[in-house]
Amino acid sequence: MAEGRGVQWLDIDEHHDGQRLDNFLLAHLKGAPRTLIYRIIRRGEVRINGGRGKASRRLVKGDRVRVPPLRLTPQEAVQDVSDNLRHVIERSVLKETPDWMVFNKPSGLAVHGGSGVKIGLIEALRQIRDDLPYLELVHRLDRDTSGCLLVAKSREALNFLSDELRAHRMQKHYLALVEGRWSVEQREVSAPLLRFELPNGERRVRVEETGKPSKTRFKLIESLRGATLIEAEPVTGRTHQIRIHAVHAGHPLLGDTKYGSVTGERLAKRCELSRLFLHARTLGFTDPASRQPVTLHAPLSDDLLSVLARLR
């Protein structure tokens, strides 16, 4: 049985002035998947002041958005937040201010729904924190990656932080466990990365001359039995960048089911690693309100600490 919604008229206030149409609809139509949002925009069923609009259109205070009746099958609808997920998200908050929140995102939790994922952190957060009219991701982490994730609580904060990100003024440092002995001399990998799709639709990345310029800085942290704990600082922000650059250097990440090796898979099994060992440990940025530097650290989870202990 499908869930139905009638026509909705949504007025744009100062909180959503300048927001993209697709992001506005994703935030307000909490049960609707991304595929449905883009479909009704593409078909012209969403009207802005009586006219059509593209997904990338920036809304202006005073605009009136018409949303057509929506019918969501149980397979399409974004699921409600379970008590367990609510507890996980609430205890993952590292710091919250009037302008932003930083989470220590657990591995296995997608940052947003789509591609078979019924609910991600941002959709769940909008249900949990329905007292906040505006919540948007400033950046993203892969589903299997844990660690620091920044969410803006206002359009102004998002614009400021996004500018920081684009200008490479935001510092991100990751901890990764790679197979083999990483050389202390291997401090940087510069290799162009190209995104492509497998026949089943799964996205992958490879080093390719026609790809986008990409650079990652590396630092050896600790040599272990059969593996090395390293710090990675992505200078550019390409999909799967750290993972591919580590492979390019000859040291795939442990627990990487997409790009790992058979040797790494055996080692991961021996040290009881059941997930990708990639953790966004440190995030540094300028606070939008005070203009003062902020640095936050996300501790490693107990399961990753146990893996390191077994390899020492």
What does the alpha-carbon distance between residue 68 and residue 57 come to, in Å, rounded to a whole number?
A: 18
Q: Going along the chain, which residue ranges are E strands?
A: 3-5, 8-11, 47-48, 64-67, 70-72, 93-96, 100-105, 136-137, 146-152, 171-179, 188-190, 193-197, 203-207, 215-223, 227-234, 278-286, 293-297
**Residue linked to tokens 């990764």:** 176
- Report the relative pairing of strands 146-152 and 136-137 from DSSP bridges: antiparallel
CB 176 within 8 A of CB 277: yes
Q: Which of 254, 261, 289 is nearest to 275 (CA)?
A: 254
Kindly name the residue from 142, 256, 302, 303 that is annotated as catalytic: 142
Q: How many residues appear in the chain?
A: 312
What does the alpha-carbon distance between residue 253 and residue 307 come to, in Å, rounded to a whole number?
A: 13
Look up 142 and say whether it is catalytic. yes
Give me the active site residues, please.
142
